[in-house]
Structure 1
Amino acid sequence: MKDKFLQEDRKEYTDVSTVESQRNDITLEEFPEGPYGSSLMSESLGKSSPWRVDQRTAHRFDYENHELHEGEVRDYPGQDVFDETVPDSVTKPQYPEEEESE
């Protein structure tokens, strides 16, 4: 598995987390297949360079910095990273403290 990653000299210390995020988070392309009506060249789709060890795709509806939003609940139930299921009743947000007391 390690042979699929780009070999690089890693330093003992890293940059600030925002710089590391710019370097490692890969955003999704809006139209990865090209403009409308163009011929589809499937061999050119996707990432053309090797992956770095810390690189990852960024989730579209997720917080960039999880440390700043740790423990906060979103307004819509089921949208939290730790909660993958959508509850049957979506009338009010469910907070972790309320679930434990029930």
Structure 2
Amino acid sequence: MKEHKQPSYDDFSTVEKSHEYITAEEFPDGPFGSPVNQKLGKSTSWEEGQRTYSAFNYENKNLHEKAQRLFPGAHPVHDNPEEHEQNPS
């Protein structure tokens, strides 16, 4: 009988990175239906590599490569002209 080799797989980078990025609460007072005056924030300890998303950054930097900011006096883009792909870090 022929043996079937199990295919190996890896999670997509978005799945792997979703564990590292912490999203903000939907409501400023905490999750809907939570007790009043409950401590807000992350309920478990921080793991190495975890961080929060910034609301002032592009989620997918590859889509905005070489795009200049149009508002006068805007902060310069930190684009590396030598690289054409940026890994989420």
TM-score (norm 1): 0.45
- TM-score, scaled relative to structure 2: 0.50
If each structure's helix is expressed as a fraction of its own residues, which one has the higher value? 1
- Relative contact order higher in (CA < 8 Å, ≥ 6 apart): 2
